[in-house]
Amino acid sequence: MQPFYKRVLLKLSGEALAGVQKYGIDPSTITSIAAEIKQVVECGTQMALVIGGGNIFRGLAASSKGMDRASADYMGMLATMINSLAMQDALEKLGVDTRVQSAIEMREVAEPYIRRRAIRHLEKGRVIILGAGTGNPYFTTDTAASLRAMEIGAEVILKGTKVDGVYSADPMKDPTALKFSQLSYIDVLKKGLQVMDATATSLCMDNNLPIIIFDVTTPGNILKVILGEKMGTIVKGEDNG
pLDDT tens for 19-33 read 888 899 999 999 999
Q: What confidence category does residue 232 fall into, taking pLDDT thresholds of 50, 70 and 90?
A: very high
pLDDT at 83 over 60: yes
**What residues contact 168, with CB distance under 8 A and at least 6 apart?**
177, 178, 180
Q: How far is CA 115 from the centre of its chain?
A: 18
Pick the closest to residue 186 from 173, 174, 198, 175 (CA basis): 198
Lowest mean pLDDT among 125-139, 142-156, 189-203: 189-203
pLDDT tens for 86-130 read 999 999 999 999 999 999 999 999 999 999 999 999 999 999 999
Mean per-residue pLDDT of the chain:
94
**Mean pLDDT over residues 161-189, rounded?**
90
In CATH, the number for domain 7-236 is 3.40.1160.10
Q: What confidence category does residue 239 fall into, taking pLDDT thresholds of 50, 70 and 90?
A: low
**What residues contact 190, with CB distance under 8 A and at least 6 apart?**
none
Residue spans of the domains in the chain: they are 7-236
